[in-house]
Structure 1
Amino acid sequence: MTTAPAKPGSPSVERVQRRTLAVLSAAQITGGVGVAVGLALSSLVVFDLSGSEAISGLAGTATVLGAALLALPAAKAAGKDGRRAGLGLAYVAALTGCVISVLAISIASWPLLLAGLVLVGGGSAGNLAARYSATDLSPPGHAGRHLSLVVWAATIGSVAGPNLADPADRLGMSMGLAPTAGPFAFAALAFAVALLIVVAGLRPDPLKLARQLTGTAGATGGRSKTIKDAWGTLRATPAARAALLAIAVSHTAMVSVMSMTPVHLRHEGAELKVIGLVLSLHIAGMYVLSPVVGWLADKVGKVPVLVLGMALLVASAALAGTAGDRVWQITAGLTLLGIGWSCGLVAGSAMLSEAVAIERRPAVQGLSDLLMNICGATGTIIAGAIVGALSYGVLGLVVGVMVTATGLWLALARPSTSTPA
């Protein structure tokens, strides 16, 4: 006699969801450390090795591009073998990239370092994919809150990460590593722990269980089908398209300004500890308030929260862009930049998940992360060119215009956020 699967909202599914959220949160903490340690120094290390401000902007581009390139393979693995396989692939890539980065710094090769940073971007791909994993078993109307809890868990690792860069550097040099190689070695360890947590703890797999509950357990999808189905779903779903646009614009604005802030602060005479503190507060803005953002998205609506996020991003660009050498003003701008990004990512991701049926989610979510990170990578290239040729202030102006246009469109169009049947 076969036992019927539990229904969504039943005690057994609720227990699995609680365990899933706990495992994903633990992986986010350790994975967040790995991502943040790498981001804290990558642009400065590339600048020191290359001597070029424009090339230093490629550090952020490399990690964002890596996250984009790994989004679809991770989505394909998740669609075929479950969330555990997709997340595992992303963290293995990040670990490998950290090892390559250590080698590149040891031989003073900035091209090899950029290649390593592309794979390090897998850490961001894994952390981004984890948020979607939190929604597979969410009851109706709770996607924002569950997703935001996993995003919030990254606070611990992401805030601590930049401040661990200096101690990790000193420890690495004491162990014989080249200067600035220690943080990347530490990041490799963090990604290894995140990989172990996911592989050992994410059982049962939430996507596989969700498909069993909805009778779509046979849905997998290869590479071409993943892309084809995702585009088809987006064309047929206005809410999904609007969510993807909001996510992409929020991420592009955040990455563009954040990637060039360390270089700007260095030019203004700020010390490494000051730069680390500014980035820590920025990352705190990205994650600390995410549960509040998720609750608002579920209660007030996704579109209003997205519009609020755009307004915060405009304010942040204005503050940072007009700060000059005033560190406190740059800090305030970067903090608002993080909160605006949180509104865009949490509300947009919840809106995207609720707009798409469970059997199509991995493909659409993977395409969303691909496009988001391609936009982010393009933004960092343009940001480096703008700062190099013009100024950090002009970068703030360009970002402000882009975000204002998106916010006005969302406020006026107000796309429907109804859940698919």
Structure 2
Amino acid sequence: MTSAPTKRESTSPDRIRGIQRRTLAVLSSAQIVGGVGVAVGLALSSVVVDELSGSTVISGFAGTATVLGAALLALPTAKAAGRGGRRAGLALAYVAALVGCAISVAAITIGNWPLLLGGLVLVGGGSAGNLASRYSATDLSPPGHAARHLSLVVWAATIGSVAGPNLAKPADQIGMNLGLVEKAGPFAFAALAFALALIVVVAGLRPDPLKLARRLDGTHATAAKHERAVRDAWRTLRVTPMARRALIMIAVSHTAMVSVMSMTPVKLHHDGSTLDIIGLVISLHIAGMYVMSPVVGWLADKAGKVPVLILGMALLLSAAVLAGTAGHHVGQVTIALVILGLGWSCGLVAGSALVTESVPIERRPAVQGLSDLLMNVCGATGTIVAGAIVGGLSYGFLGLVVGIMVTAAGLWLLITWRRQPT
């Protein structure tokens, strides 16, 4: 007798708005602590691999391993979300990251850099989870608000991500006080952060936003079709030009960002910068990535996603020029990294919102997972090439290559958008 009123209440507009507010709060909380885990490891991974291997080229594989891990876990995360809801997908990603941190601690303890790279692949699950969270924020968004809601969750990572690199040194000291070897402490600290993110998601993300959105849309039965997830995603992209363009621009933005960012700690380290300086530069870069994301989201909803994507390419070009011509000037490198982060924010927020709005809800997890897969595969490739370029040529030449790439992408988007705006 009471089931019908309960159902009506659970799907009323006011109730949905309340659930969405709760969803955004839970996702934001997970982003804060998950961002700490990602950023602590990010600040030191390339330096640790450089010290253990004695090779600048190999040090570039630290960033590659993490980005590759995010790519490899993107589809399993999306598939788990398609079958069991967003909570299941995010839990899978954070569990992988936690295990990866434990392996990394063991690898540093025994001085085994190949094992460390293996651990960093799983640590990439933290990035996969944080990236998937942004899409989780759009499941119950009202029309015209996807970019803003997505950007709020992206912004929440600011606190953890900016604090993370600056926690590397005290975490290292605490770790040594507890008996860990030097530079193992930050990865142990990251493991605790991912464990907390896992608890927040599992306990707080109820009801599951994707499950509820499907029920409201009448498409909940499609959740069983994810054996064809990749094939369906490719088919959707072939017939949806705007989603295809958005996916490409996300991939280009991420490739440009991780290529320059991953080699900057190594450059600064070789230039004689201390761990504190390196941590500060990376913190400011991450601030550029996240602090302005709500403004970027508002602008994308109001002015359009494509203009914001083009703005992002212009910012990435400016960052590449500044970084490539900085020489030994830490201040110019820092400014370049902040602008680099802002350009990435434009690409990620506007591109992700455009992907979400361009495909039907029953195909979204598959297309979103494919988007993160391709984005991180391109990013991993970029870090490999970046390591080779810096090791064989120079950091300045890396800036030139990245500048050419983002200029070509921006011009292509502008031309195709003008020819076929829908």
Q: TM-score, normalised by structure 2?
A: 0.97
Specify the alignment match of 1:331 in structure 2.
334
Indicate which of 146, 155, 161 corresponds to 1:152: 155
Identity of aligned residues (%): 74
Specify the alignment match of 1:313 in structure 2.
316
Does the CA-based 8 Å contact 1:76-1:221 persist in structure 2?
Answer: no
Specify the alignment match of 1:25 in structure 2.
28
Indicate which of 109, 113, 116 corresponds to 2:116: 113
Deviation at residue 269 of structure 1 after TM alignment: 1.1
Matched to 2:397, the amino acid is V
For structure 1, which segment, 142-151 or 212-221, has the greater mean C-alpha deviation from structure 2 after superposition? Answer: 212-221
Structure 2 residue 249 is matched with structure 1 residue 246: yes
Partner deviation per Cα, 1:201-228 (whole Å, 9 max, x = no partner): 0000000000000001111246640111
Indicate which of 222, 233, 248 corresponds to 1:219: 222
The 2-side partners of 1:319 and 1:104 are apart by 36
Structure 2 residue 375 is matched with structure 1 residue 376: no
Partner deviation per Cα, 1:269-326 (whole Å, 9 max, x = no partner): 1111111110000000000000000000000000000000000000000001100100
How many residues of Structure 1 are paired with residues of Structure 2 in the alignment?
418
The 1-side partners of 2:134 and 2:385 are apart by 28
Structure 2 residue 102 is matched with structure 1 residue 132: no
Specify the alignment match of 1:123 in structure 2.
126
Deviation at residue 46 of structure 1 after TM alignment: 0.4
Does the CA-based 8 Å contact 2:83-2:226 persist in structure 1?
Answer: no
The 1-side partners of 2:392 and 2:52 are apart by 20
Q: Say if 1:269 and 1:349 are closer, same or farther in 2 by CA, change over 3 A.
A: same
Q: RMSD in angstroms over aligned alpha carbons? A: 1.3
Specify the alignment match of 1:80 in structure 2.
83
Q: Say if 1:243 and 1:5 are closer, same or farther in 2 by CA, change over 3 A.
A: farther
The 2-side partners of 1:215 and 1:382 are apart by 46
Indicate which of 96, 101, 104 corresponds to 1:98: 101
Partner deviation per Cα, 1:10-51 (whole Å, 9 max, x = no partner): 111000000000000000000000000000000000001000
Indicate which of 71, 75, 93 corresponds to 2:74: 71
The 1-side partners of 2:128 and 2:415 are apart by 32
Q: Say if 1:9 and 1:404 are closer, same or farther in 2 by CA, change over 3 A.
A: farther
Specify the alignment match of 1:387 in structure 2.
390
The 2-side partners of 1:35 and 1:9 are apart by 38
Structure 2 residue 280 is matched with structure 1 residue 277: yes
The 1-side partners of 2:402 and 2:81 are apart by 34
Specify the alignment match of 2:269 in structure 1.
266
Matched to 1:14, the amino acid is R
Give the structure with the higher percent helix. Answer: 2
Structure 2 residue 360 is matched with structure 1 residue 357: yes
The 2-side partners of 1:202 and 1:417 are apart by 37
Unaligned runs of 5+ in 1: none
Q: Say if 1:222 and 1:68 are closer, same or farther in 2 by CA, change over 3 A.
A: farther
Deviation at residue 157 of structure 1 after TM alignment: 0.2
Deviation at residue 8 of structure 1 after TM alignment: 7.9
The 2-side partners of 1:5 and 1:96 are apart by 42
The 2-side partners of 1:134 and 1:35 are apart by 20
Specify the alignment match of 1:167 in structure 2.
170
Q: TM-score, normalised by structure 1?
A: 0.97
Specify the alignment match of 1:303 in structure 2.
306
Specify the alignment match of 1:206 in structure 2.
209
Partner deviation per Cα, 1:91-116 (whole Å, 9 max, x = no partner): 00000000000000000000000000
Specify the alignment match of 2:13 in structure 1.
10
Indicate which of 286, 290, 295 corresponds to 2:289: 286
The 2-side partners of 1:155 and 1:328 are apart by 21
Structure 2 residue 47 is matched with structure 1 residue 62: no
Deviation at residue 84 of structure 1 after TM alignment: 0.0
Does the CA-based 8 Å contact 1:38-1:183 persist in structure 2?
Answer: yes
The 2-side partners of 1:119 and 1:349 are apart by 24
